[in-house]
A and B are shown apart, each in its own frame.
Chain A
């Protein structure tokens, strides 16, 4: 549990105590509710990771420069680093946090997913390394037809 200790720092004690002790999985929706309500990426990132300095240039975001369908914009995340937690944020929807991946011991940082974007905006990845450092990457994605994110 040690590597996940940082999560509890931001979360209120009450939220943390809701989790049964036997639960091995970390549900960030339950442990960091504030991060999922934040409208801007900056606020959401601070709620999940704090405001420590981040290292740029070691995570690669694979996203189209121009997305034709804002309802399903493919986002790929690649890195040679050993990362434990990888979070995806964007500024195209009412709220910023989209998904938080947790990598297991044998995990390889080569991920793909699809997200909604109702307008052109930045996609931000913030990840925590095994070394305890924070890494980030940002890419602007242009959306020609908006998604149905409300």
Chain B
């Protein structure tokens, strides 16, 4: 996972690139590969949720997100958690610049 977080005029802009094939059951059957997709993404600053997404297999492969929120400051840490269809979790963090 790649996270970029920049603050400007009190608005933090986050660009998030996850790493997952995002294969649903239809594509898995067609290509004879395993189903694998992220089902939920949460972003937190200081333990508080700033953005979240429930996700399905029709997002592009290696899903990309951009989102904005107020209230954080430079130097704060943004923590991103993901969970996939098999319950596997991943976490990463980045300092807001």
Contacts and interface: CB of A to CB of B under 8 A. Distances in A.
Contacts of A116: 22, 58-61
Interface stretch (A8-16, A52-60, A104-112, A132-140): A104-112
A43 interface: no
A119 interface: no
Contact of B67 (A94, A110, A114, A148): A110
A145 interface: no
A68 interface: no
A36 B25 CA distance: 12
A147 to B, nearest CB: 7
B59 A113 contact: yes
Interface string B38-76: 011010000011111111111111011111111100000
Contacts of B51: 101-104, 107
A95 B70 contact: no
26 contacts: A25-B42, A25-B52, A72-B64, A93-B58, A97-B56, A99-B53, A99-B55, A100-B54, A101-B53, A102-B53, A103-B51, A104-B50, A104-B52, A104-B69, A106-B71, A107-B50, A107-B51, A108-B68, A111-B67, A113-B63, A114-B60, A147-B60, A148-B61, A149-B58, A150-B24, A150-B31
